[in-house]
Amino acid sequence: MGSQNLTGKRYAFLVTNGYEDSELTSPWQAVTEAGGQPVLVAPKPGVVTGKHGHEQQVDQAVNAATSADFDGLMLPGGVVNADHLRMDLNAAAFVRAFFEEHKPVGVICHGAWILIEAGVVDGRTITSYPSLKTDLRNAGAVWVDEEVVVDNGLVSSRRPDDLPAFNGKLVEEFAEGKHAAQAV
């Protein structure tokens, strides 16, 4: 992970209250250590709180954010977080735009729910928390039970225990930049 340089690049981390704390903080640290600038994007300004109490200041509201301002996107999980984000039309459109622009996207655990709502999983190989398997398959994804899966710029993992492997692949894909096959 240390050889991947993200200096001068910005990465959106999209969450709302109820995110899985480590699924925000661990990738955030990995991106920061690689020289990238993580930016917290949420449905509302203020502070968001994780399910275990981690609080973090929102940098930008999703309705004012544009994918053109970022080099990639990270979607932490957490059941409440993911469920609320997938119901937010601005959040779904924001996510979809990264795929339309061929930019790398990382997703872990329940975060994959918003990918379904954004309409970007059909034909993609992905992993997630096992309870999303049927939802992802019904949306056209090829679901696999693996620690980390990379599919043309889409990096996915199952749970917090997978973060060490996930973070390495996330930074690698972020460093590679746009992927022609990363599209809807």
In tens, the pLDDT along 114-162 reads 999 999 999 999 999 999 999 999 999 999 999 999 999 999 999 999 9
Instruction: Kindly list the structural domains of the chain, giving each domain's residue range(s) and its CATH number in brackets, ordered by start.
Output: 10-176 (3.40.50.880)
Catalytic residue from among 52, 54, 109, 179: 109
Question: For this structure, is 84 an active site residue?
Answer: no
Q: Which of 54, 84, 110, 179 is catalytic?
A: 110
Examine the residue annotation and report whether 109 is marked as an active-site residue of this protein: yes
Within the chain, what is the greatest distance between any pair of CA atoms? 39
pTM score, two decimals? 0.96
- Region of 121 (left: φ > 0; alpha: ψ -120 to 50; beta: rest) is alpha
Place of tokens 């699924």: 23
List, for residues 45-88, the tens digit of each pLDDT value.
999 999 999 999 999 999 999 999 999 999 999 999 999 999 99
Place of tokens 């309409």: 119
